[in-house]
Amino acid sequence: SYDLTQPPSLSVSPGQTASITCSGDKLGDKYASWYQQKAGQSPVLVIYEDNKRPSGIPERLSGSNSGNTATLTISGTQALDEGDYYCQAWDTGTVVFGGGTKLTVL
């Protein structure tokens, strides 16, 4: 089965840049998506097709995907960015999620 690996947690100071990685075998050959989930809420799509933002998602969220790693970058991190972030890809007929990264803005 295909696996996606994320760091369990990441802490950043307000205004700093947060980079959340997602690793998988030849992930760069697939499309990666990212979801934000705040406490007690449903997940929300923030990046699709590696680097595209749905309407309403701020430009300070961006994505990239190359080699074995996809990265979600949050520039000028704000308190409202706190939450869990999940990467997701598709492999041979099944959808795979990373384990999630808990982002804390200190």
- From candidates 20, 22, 35, 81, binder to another protein by CB under 8 A: 35
Closest CA to 62 of 76, 46, 78, 73: 73
Burial class, 70, CB count within 10 angstroms (exposed 0-12 / middle 13-18 / buried 19+): buried
57 is a site residue for another protein (CB under 8 A): no
**Does 61 engage in binding with another protein (CB under 8 A)?**
no
Detail the DSSP E strand segments found in 24-78: 33-37, 44-47, 61-66, 69-74
Determine contact, residues 34/52, Cβ cutoff 8 Å.
no
- Shortest reach from residue 3's CB to another protein, in Å: 12
Judged by CB under 8 A, the residue of 10, 18, 24, 33 near another protein is: 33
> Nearer to another protein by C-beta: 30 or 60?
30
Examine residue 48 and tell whether it contacts another protein (CB under 8 A): yes
**Beta strand 61-66 with 101-105: parallel, antiparallel or unpaired?**
unpaired
List contacts with another protein (CB under 8 A): 1, 30-33, 35, 37, 42-45, 48-49, 54, 84, 86, 88-90, 93-100
